[in-house]
A and B are shown apart, each in its own frame.
Chain A
Amino acid sequence: NAGVMQNPRHLVRRRGQEARLRCSPMKGHSHVYWYRQLPEEGLKFMVYLQKENIIDESGMPKERFSAEFPKEGPSILRIQQVVRGDSAAYFCASSERSYTGELFFGEGSRLTVL
């Protein structure tokens, strides 16, 4: 029973390039959350998606950032024209039900912008 799978685990991009982070939730989970973590800090909520729908994107910058969770395939967090301030660990979590259950986290994708 595979857990939440994130890839790539490490990604290096130069300023202005695009970063695509993928997340496959646990089998049977239809709720996906993306969080961002800076070193020695807590997790900052970015976006909450259900299959084919963005439910809450209040934590995501309106420019350059987008997220999707298609009917088939993994959830994608896309960052266009990356800047050094985008360097962080991005975590994906999935749950079976919204708001009542525990979250299952992936190991994160660590983005470094040169």
Chain B
Amino acid sequence: SQQGEEDPQALSIQEGENATMNCSYKTSINNLQWYRQNSGRGLVHLILIRSNEREKHSGRLRVTLDTSKKSSSLLITASRAADTASYFCATVPPTSGTYKYIFGTGTRLKVLA
């Protein structure tokens, strides 16, 4: 089954507003990562948060991690039209002998100019 599930599936906001998307996962993790995918392109890494961290910032991005609830959120502040993309969380469950990154179903963000 899918390790990560993003919520909402789709989000439409006005330029300048903040966008928040959430990711829930099922098992314990080593770390959780967020990626962006522009239409027709490959994924680009945005930010990594380790299991012993609670919050991390990178530019206009803020990520939180709650391991007790097995959830993470990605906040994009002061959104721009160029932020229009799909956003995925990825986790690496610490199962023995395998380090496959499991991606969620994604949140499709549309920022209207």
Q: Which residues of A contact B (CB under 8 A)?
A: 4, 33, 35, 40-45, 48, 55-56, 58-59, 91, 93, 98-108
Contacts and interface: CB of A to CB of B under 8 A. Distances in A.
A104 B100 contact: no
Interface residues of B, number: 26
Contacts of A101: 48
A5 B99 CA distance: 22
A105 B44 contact: yes
A100 B92 CA distance: 8
Nearest to B43: A105
A42 to B, nearest CB: 4
7 contacts: A33-B101, A45-B101, A48-B98, A56-B99, A56-B100, A100-B30, A104-B45
Contacts of A93: 43, 101
A93 B41 CA distance: 13
B33 interface: yes
B30 A42 contact: no
The SS class assigned to the A binding surface is: loop
Interface string B18-54: 0000000000001101010000011111001000000
Contacts of A48: 98-100
B68 interface: no
Contacts of A108: 41-42
B13 interface: no
Given A43-B43, A91-B43, A105-B43, A100 B31 contact: yes
Given A48-B98, A58-B98, A106 B88 contact: no
Contact of B100 (A33, A102, A106): A33
